[in-house]
Amino acid sequence: MRMQDKIVAITGAGSGLGREGALLFAAEGARVVVSDAVPGRSQKVAGEIKALGGSTTAVDADVRVEADMNGLVDIAVEAYGRIDVMWANAGIPEPGFGMQPLAESSLEDWNNIFAVNTTGIYLAWKAAARWMIANKRGGALLATSSAASFTAYPGFPMYTASKAAVNGLVRAAALEFGKFGIRVNALCPTHGMSVNFALPAEAEVLGKSYEEMQPWDPDKRAMPLRLERPPVLRDNANLALFLASDESSYMSGQTIQSTDGGQFARTSIIFPTDLGQSEDITSGSIPEDLREQIDR
Ligand SMILES: NC(=O)c1ccc[n+]([C@@H]2O[C@H](COP(=O)([O-])OP(=O)(O)OC[C@H]3O[C@@H](n4cnc5c(N)ncnc54)[C@H](O)[C@@H]3O)[C@@H](O)[C@H]2O)c1
């Protein structure tokens, strides 16, 4: 068991990578505090963990709200006596999912993207680090950044900027927290990521990657690595597991791409064709009901 008795809090764990990580960490012996801003999502994931015999607590928490992030740590400590890992995973995409030009974007959208994707990580980490430092426990702070932080996703300028800021925070926080035994790292995914990211909050949690939603033809994939199966959420959760566990105890300040071509690969996200990207991905193989939701 790679996470035996570790107490882990995960934000945005009601769907996608956070949910997958919560299930994986619990299977590896962690007690997971599952949190999400959409009511009902974290409770459902906690139910799945319990059904598999795991120990877990569910919390509704918005990463933009400092009291919620302080409360998340308080709940972990109340329930399990301490917190060992804070995985700040929640994130949102650009409004319009690649369709909105930067020149037509609003300051409100910019502020909200940064509030969730960047400030949310700062608040979650600060709450956990304060407890770890005060209690001389050490621990691991983890973030979900994005391969966008090393390149630029077409049509996602604000998102790209918010994730690049996360990578800066990883390095700066690692420098400051190392002396307290607190490690700070981020995974930066692209492929095998949650299709729910492109869907509205009220959509059903599908637990699948973009690539799983389309017929899998290895010859037509955007990534250079030949896979005999579509990349899946678990491929990314495995890197999170490594960074959260003691296996990476000599690693801090790292922003690692959990993808096969890094910034050199074309992204496999379902970008709109009119931006001239990823023609093979937008070739009409996406189920009609999913396409309708993405286009909305
Ligand atoms: N899916 C992708 O294409 C992709 C690619 C690279 C990186 N990422 C990053 O991966 C992380 C996880 O996203 P995902 O792909 O699993 O998508 P997802 O939409 O399936 O899951 C994200 C979860 O975060 C929650 N959330 C949104 N705003 C929140 C807030 N203010 N407070 C708390 N929770 C909130 C959502 O309700 C959702 O359950 C994000 O940081 C995202 O930026 C996603």
Ligand 1, atom 16: closest residue by C-alpha = 16
Q: Ligand 1 centre from 89 Cα, in Å?
A: 7
Extended strands (E) in 17-175:
31-36, 56-60, 85-88, 139-144
Q: Ligand 1 centre from 136 Cα, in Å?
A: 31
Ligand 1, atom 23: closest residue by C-alpha = 12
Q: Ligand 1 centre from 115 Cα, in Å?
A: 13
Q: How many CA within 13 A on the CB side of residue 52?
A: 17
Strands 254-256 and 85-88 come out as unpaired
Rounded to two decimals, what is the model's pTM? 0.92
Q: To test the ligand 1 pocket, which listed residue (34, 187, 193, 266) has its Cβ within 8 A of the most ligand atoms?
A: 193
pLDDT one digit per residue (tens) for the chain, 296 residues: 999 999 999 999 999 999 999 999 999 999 999 999 999 999 999 999 999 999 999 999 999 999 999 999 999 999 999 999 999 999 999 998 888 899 999 999 999 999 999 999 999 999 999 999 999 999 999 999 999 998 888 889 999 999 999 999 999 999 999 999 999 999 999 889 999 999 999 999 999 998 888 888 777 766 667 788 888 999 999 999 999 999 999 999 999 998 776 555 555 555 544 333 343 333 334 455 555 555 44
Q: Is 133 exposed, middle or buried (0-12, 13-18, 19+ CB in 10 A)?
A: middle
Q: Which residues are the active-site residues?
A: 159
3-state SS class at 217: coil
Domains and CATH numbers, the chain: 7-295 (3.40.50.720)
Query: Among the atoms of ligand 1, which is closest to the Cα of residue 205?
Result: 20
Q: What is the pLDDT of residues 184-219, one digit of tens each?
A: 999 999 889 999 999 999 999 999 998 888 888 777
Ligand 1, atom 24: closest residue by C-alpha = 12
Rounded Cα distance between 259 and 82, Å, is 32
Within 6 Å (CB) of ligand 1, which residues are found?
A: 11-12, 14-18, 36-38, 41, 62-64, 89-92, 116, 144, 146, 189-190, 193-194, 196-197, 201, 269
Smallest Cα–Cα separation from 77: which of 27, 28, 130? Answer: 130
Residue 281, phi then psi, degrees to nearest 5: -75, -30
Say how many residues make up the chain: 296
